[in-house]
Amino acid sequence: MGKRILVTGGAGFLGSHLCDRLIKEGNDVICLDNLYTGNKNNIRHLIGNDYFEFIRHDVTEPIHLEVDQIYNLACPASPVHYQYNPIKTTKTSVLGAMNMLGLAKRVHARILQASTSEVYGDPEIHPQPESYRGCVNTIGIRSCYDEGKRVAETLFFDYHRMHKVEIKVMRIFNTYGPNMHPADGRVVSNFIVQALKGEDITVYGDGSQTRSFCYVDDLIEGMVRLMNSRADFTGPVNIGNPGEFTIKQLAEIVIELTGSNSKIIYQPLPSDDPLQRKPVIEIAKKELDWEPTIALEEGLKWLPKKVLRKPLLTLRKLYEKRTVHLPYALPSAHCHGEGVAFRKGFRSDSLRCGLYRRRGNTKSQTIRHI
């Protein structure tokens, strides 16, 4: 029999894939999202389905619902978005975790936290096993996200110890796939958009920093397996693809796969940008019988065709209409150029539905990102 399942952040990149998967399996799904970085287009096809409900709500506020399972994904994940309003990011992670754990406790629901490899910070141990406690700056521009997620993990384990809440903590490594916002500033979407537009590919630093990229289908499989794992298995568990690439290699692969004429250019490395990242996935293999099945080159071959579910040519045309390039680096740290317009001109509550509305002291103009 299907379960009643709450997915917070369900209109975002990972959340929308999870909603699809849970609906397909015959569950009753409530998608809760404030549409800060999420997009109704990601879940539009589910609206009208008797087993799907969308609630526009902010996880920093309590809510009463009757559910059997909670996937807590609500939180902006791209550095551009989580650094845009860092105080809100910490509130979302910490108050969001408290509210969802309170709900889980009240209705005896099992709850999964979408934690992150960022809890390892700029790791001194490579690759990173779950036992590694991390090297995190408490006062840097990434801290709102990293420390918010670390406190959320602490809350999960304290609710488990004090109130016997059934918890699952999943440390997600960089994931890519359809439904990523093409303008969200993450490296895979940035490079693909730049390659399709024939623009320079912006590698930050010398491109020697590494990341391990997991295709979204693999990730969602790991997430669902973790939620349904034996009751006394809490994690934390790393879910990611151990294939490790430098950012320069990623740029070269994207250029080759898209047949683009783009050139690689080098820009300053943002502060606290981790130099290396690769998961140890032995626990996932043993406890969940999970490992990734899709290699980076394979996933990247599909992506330009699947992004927004539009054929490549249409996509290219749409990208050509894009008028503003969202900067990766944040204006608080880099106080010049486009970043300032982004900071002053965009209100956080208008980061929604693919429409970024420019207000305030800049020209009143609607900028349509696809």
Q: Which is nearer to ligand UDP, 172 or 283 (CB)?
A: 172
Which stretch in 68-76, 98-106, 133-141, 310-318 sits in contact with ligand NAD by CB under 6 A? 68-76
Site for ligand UDP in 48-107 (CB under 6 A): 79
Taking the C-alpha atoms of residue 307 and residue 311, their distance in angstroms, rounded to an integer, is: 8
Neighbours of 363 (CB within 10 A): 9
Q: Residue 279 Cβ, how far from ligand NAD at the closest point, in Å? A: 11
Q: Which is nearer to ligand NAD, 39 or 229 (CB)?
A: 39
Q: Is 145 a catalytic residue?
A: yes
Buried b (16+ CB within 10 A) or exposed e, 256-294: ebbebebebeeeebbebbbebbbbbbebbeeebebebeb
Q: Residue 263 Cβ, how far from ligand NAD at the closest point, in Å? A: 27
Structure-block tokens of residue 280: 């140890």
Closest CA to 289 of 242, 239, 341, 231: 239
Question: Residue 123 binds which one of ligand UDP, ligand NAD, none, with CB within 5 to 8 A depending on kind?
Answer: none
Question: Residue 327 binds which one of ligand NAD, ligand UDP, none, with CB within 5 to 8 A depending on kind?
Answer: none
Site for ligand UDP in 30-49 (CB under 6 A): none
x/- track of binding to ligand NAD for residues 153-172 (CB under 6 A): -------------------x
Q: Which is nearer to ligand UDP, 89 or 209 (CB)?
A: 209
If one asks whether residue 195 binds ligand UDP (CB under 6 A), the answer comes out as no
Taking the C-alpha atoms of residue 365 and residue 68, their distance in angstroms, rounded to an integer, is: 44
Question: Residue 175 binds which one of ligand NAD, ligand UDP, none, with CB within 5 to 8 A depending on kind?
Answer: ligand NAD
Which stretch in 35-43, 204-212, 288-296, 303-311 sits in contact with ligand NAD by CB under 6 A? 35-43
Q: Which of 183, 247, 283, 288 binds ligand UDP (CB under 6 A)?
A: 247
If one asks whether residue 203 binds ligand UDP (CB under 6 A), the answer comes out as yes
CB 291 within 8 A of CB 275: no
Closest CA to 61 of 22, 6, 98, 115: 98
| The one catalytic residue among 145, 176, 215, 356 | 145
If one asks whether residue 119 binds ligand UDP (CB under 6 A), the answer comes out as no
If one asks whether residue 120 binds ligand NAD (CB under 6 A), the answer comes out as no
List, in order, residues 6 or more apart from 294 with CB less than 8 Å away: 215, 217, 218, 241
If one asks whether residue 9 binds ligand NAD (CB under 6 A), the answer comes out as yes
Structure-block tokens of residue 98: 């408290």
Q: Which is nearer to ligand NAD, 37 or 262 (CB)?
A: 37
Question: Residue 85 binds which one of ligand NAD, ligand UDP, none, with CB within 5 to 8 A depending on kind?
Answer: none
User: In the chain, which ranges are continuous DSSP H helix?
Assistant: 13-24, 79-84, 86-107, 143-163, 187-197, 216-227, 247-258, 282-288, 296-306, 312-320, 338-345
List, in order, residues 6 or more apart from 165 with CB less than 8 Å away: 101, 104, 105, 111, 156, 159
DSSP assignment, residue 113?
A: E
Buried b (16+ CB within 10 A) or exposed e, 303-324: bbebbbeeeeeebbebbeebeb
Taking the C-alpha atoms of residue 108 and residue 348, their distance in angstroms, rounded to an integer, is: 34
DSSP assignment, residue 264?
A: E
Site for ligand NAD in 88-107 (CB under 6 A): 92, 96
Closest CA to 20 of 308, 307, 224, 310: 224
Question: Residue 211 binds which one of ligand UDP, ligand NAD, none, with CB within 5 to 8 A depending on kind?
Answer: ligand UDP
Q: Which residues are catalytic?
A: 145
- What residue ranges bind ligand UDP (CB under 6 A)? 79, 174, 186-187, 190, 202-204, 209, 211, 247, 269-270, 273, 328
- What residue ranges bind ligand NAD (CB under 6 A)? 8-9, 11-15, 33-38, 58-60, 73-77, 92, 96, 114, 116, 172, 174-175
